[in-house]
Structure 1
Amino acid sequence: MPSLLIAGGRLLDPASGTDHPLDLAIAEGRIAAIGTPANPRLPHGPADRVIDAQGLLVTPGLIDPHVHLREPGHEHKETTASGAAAAARGGFTTVCCMPNTSPPLDTPELLRFIADRAASILASDLPACRVFPVAAATKGRKGDEPAEILLAAKAGAVAFSDDGDAIASAGVMNRVLTLVKQTGLAFMQHCQDPTMTRGGAMHAGEVALRLGLTGWPRAAEEIIAERDTRLALAVGARYHVQHISSAGTADILRRARATPQGQALITGEASPHHLTLTHHACESYNTNAKVNPPLREQVDVNALKEAVADGTITVLATDHAPHAADEKALPFEEAPMGMVGLETALPLYAEALVHAGAITWPRLIALLTINPARLCNLDALGLGRLAVGGPADITLIDPDLVWTVTPNELTSRSKNSPFLGRTLRGRAVATVVAGTVRHEHPR
């Protein structure tokens, strides 16, 4: 494997508190040395290749704990290969794929199928990243009976979720949390009371009224978040609130994390679209802005930014949800919910949080590296940090690169983004996975 030297960049590693101009040497897929520009050495002589990182941020490889790769069953929307390529172009070296596939990822055999697909992709020369499966928490994702949770953990699941749906029954939820606790992994909840969202197409507000669409209230999310955080604290299980969309849910999370026990057990995430868009993006029946949970109001956007800034929300996740063009061309009420996000997430996070003055670049990188690594126990593999001897998963970011989102700029098999035509600032210009450059943007 060729050796590599990344020279002249600003090295940001929140796990160690490093924020200095440092060079980084890679050999045999691992970080061989980290040093000052005057001391960029490799154990066995000069590097085979030098990457000039002047003006770039050199960070641990970004990690997304919440993506939909659609395989098996919906390969017309995305595949593990196309999704991993999109992730690499977005700067992500690791993604965790959700189990709402067909069939759902609810058995050890299906989890091993994902692991084998991921390994074969990494063994190729294609743009790619690491892929870890999140297992379904109930059989068939039906919410009626716990799945083979203990066996799934042994088969390589990094977390559990019925994402796409909530576990509506409190009794089943309690049983699931009790089993998940035994694995040491986290349960990730898509907070949605289904009795409050049937027929709902977008946020219950004035835009829905004007468009004549059925609304989807904040309370549908908040009721489940309130119930589950109480259950998780009572059981002592790790619990993660996915794609928070409302100010009320942010407050629930804040209260749940108010004690040392709460901080250890309860976490939550925000997605780029909920930090940057409101329900007004659905004007003109724009189905690319139709997501679950729905885009809400500016008061919610502001509350989510505040929750990130004060440490209530500790993880950022794209909820990358590809859908085919003909599906998104359906009438708004019938079109599927979701948008692609892996390739636009980084500059959107920077716009909403760093450029707005809510947090710094080191804080943003923590939300995208060591924090999601800890959520999914990937820190045990050395992911989410830069350390000598550790995996050489690295993202190089040009924080000032200006580019425009077009369908041709997106590698994902689907192009359902409400940000098409938008000019963004910041981009991953190189993505290194296990010491191999898996994506490089011309500079």
Structure 2
Amino acid sequence: MALFNLGKKDKYGKQRRIEHRSKHLRISRTGGVALRMQVKAAGLTVTANSKHGLRISAPVGKGTQVALQNGRLVLRGRYGRGPMRLNLSKSGVSVSARNSLGTFNLIRPNRSSVKIAGVQLRGKKAANIQMIFMVGVLLVSVLQTSALLLGCILRGLGRALTHVLYWLGSVPQYIRAALVSRRNRKLKNHLSRTAQLFTPPPRQWTTSQLRAALLLVLTGWGRDLTAQEAAARLQLYKQQRVTSQNPAPALDIDAAELNDVARQLESVRAAHAEQAFADPQAITALFAQQLRDSVSEQERVEAFLNTDDWIVAFDSRTALQESLLEIFADFAQLCLQIAEPQSTDFNTPEHASTAYKPNSAAFMQHAPELNGLINLNTASLDQLRTLPHIGFDRALDIINLRPITHVAQLQSIKGIGPARLADIERAGVIL
């Protein structure tokens, strides 16, 4: 069977041309049967063929051959590598393209060839088959390219839609953060005038007085009570805690100091009732900022949690108290995370301030210290703002940059260079 190349494959994996070639015998479909003999002498090759006659050939250069075939001059040249070849003959130059079906001559199509199941065809019929084949290949390539392009477009649309949906889901957070930032800016503008309302000024107050003022404003004014009413309730709860072993929050401020602060607060409130710089928000911001400048961070945390414990000891938080707690945390430079309340029953071991309970990771001073590293892809706006050099605008830019695959991407944000990036990495971030 191997006598006629049956079962043998070419480099394209197809059946080779069905023919027989040996030293002195040629058998093929188009050439028939021919005997041949070849002799080389003096740089010439002399070939005698029973079908084609006598040929004398000599190589002129690489890929070029000149011959006399029965007295007729023959010039033949094949140049190039790969599928494209340059062909030379007496009639001129042509270019051919090789493919898995055969060879297609781009300049003289009738000199093309095809091979189907080992049977080789030449001439016009081969050119027609080649053109049909190449049109089919072109259509398949167009379809594949179109499918690839469509896939890229769909993936791009999917990613864009994901970003749009993420952005839309984050819009309420952005709006709320913008409102909080605007509120805090207004409060900062009032602080100097608010401080002038008190004699002596808050910077001369003791830590105990600052805590008493914050406690009275949040538990009293935040619930539409006067400061004196709040002081009376606090003292009553404190007495009940001593006499009945009631696990109410601790109160380490004596009654005289509490009443004196309550009197000053009500005096300021009565004299400036309609002034924005004397409202509960401005006064809370003032005393929270002064507390920040007076005590350590741990003491500020304890003061915040104790105040919130007293708020829920009276009753559930009001909307104003929630707002005042936020202001307390912002101006005392505390980063908090609100958790769902679980219980406000003081007869159970887990009581009071469940929404800001430190042992449930609901309250954080600095995220890298109490809650490990900050994840740039999941951290909230407030958590991002605890990083060095990250304010409100840059925190929003980080959220818009998500998903972040490498910390170096932060350098695309205006104002963050190599030095600031190094500070952020040292502060503790992960992806």
TM exceeding 0.5: no
TM-score bracket for this pair, using the shorter chain length: under 0.3
Give the TM-score of the pair, scaled to structure 1. Answer: 0.23
Q: Which has the higher helix share?
A: 2
